[in-house]
């Protein structure tokens, strides 16, 4: 995504909405294709939470429309870091995520992919808190905490599979 060297709050929120949609699509596809009932249940729960996060970011985006109080203090303050996170993220597109879920040979494969995606989300939302102001920063931090909970749940299930 080219940003012209400057990220705004609206940019970040649009990316967050897209990430949550991609996560939801991956989790729903993984739930439909995994042979393990406990993994399928976890994937459905994660999909539901991604929907809730998406709506939160959409609400924030609507509130931010017309004002951009999240912009960088100076050009490039956070842009390169955020661009690096986006470039290296685990889930490049909804279609790719669905393809990967369908091609996972086991619940372990899908869970390991989900773990990478959730870790990327935590990093991205951590970067977002550098931009966010006031209650928006608190909201983004809360979602990052929930994503950390997703990491813990996925790790727990992976450990049960050992």
Q: What is the pLDDT along the chain (162 residues), one digit of tens a residue?
A: 444 445 667 778 888 898 899 899 889 989 998 888 999 999 999 999 999 999 998 998 888 765 655 555 656 655 666 666 666 665 556 677 667 766 777 888 889 989 988 998 898 888 888 777 778 888 889 999 999 999 999 999 999 987
Sign of CA dihedral 150, 145, 95, 47: positive
Cβ count near 66 (within 10 Å): 6
Domain count, the chain: 1
Q: What is the pTM of this model?
A: 0.79
Distance in Å from the first CA to the final CA of the chain: 39
Q: What is the CATH number of the domain that holds 47?
A: 1.20.1260.10
Q: Let me know if residue 4 belongs to a domain.
A: no
Q: Let me know if residue 104 belongs to a domain.
A: yes
């Amino acid at each position: 995504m080219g940003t012209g060297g400057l990220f705004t709050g609206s940019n970040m929120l649009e990316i967050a909405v897209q990430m949550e949609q991609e996560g939801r699509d991956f989790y729903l596809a993984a739930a439909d294709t995994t042979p393990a009932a406990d993994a399928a249940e976890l994937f459905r729960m994660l999909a539901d939470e991604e929907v809730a996060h998406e709506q939160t970011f959409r609400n924030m985006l609507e509130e931010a429309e017309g004002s951009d109080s999240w912009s960088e203090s100076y050009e490039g303050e956070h842009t390169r870091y955020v661009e690096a996170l986006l470039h290296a993220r685990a889930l490049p597109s909804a279609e790719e995520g669905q393809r990967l879920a369908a091609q996972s040979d086991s619940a372990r494969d899908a869970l390991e992919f989900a773990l990478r995606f959730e870790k990327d989300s935590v990093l991205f939302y951590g970067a977002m808190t550098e931009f966010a102001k006031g209650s928006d920063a608190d909201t983004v931090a809360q979602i990052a905490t929930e994503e950390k909970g997703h990491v813990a749940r996925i790790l727990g299930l992976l450990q049960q599979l050992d």
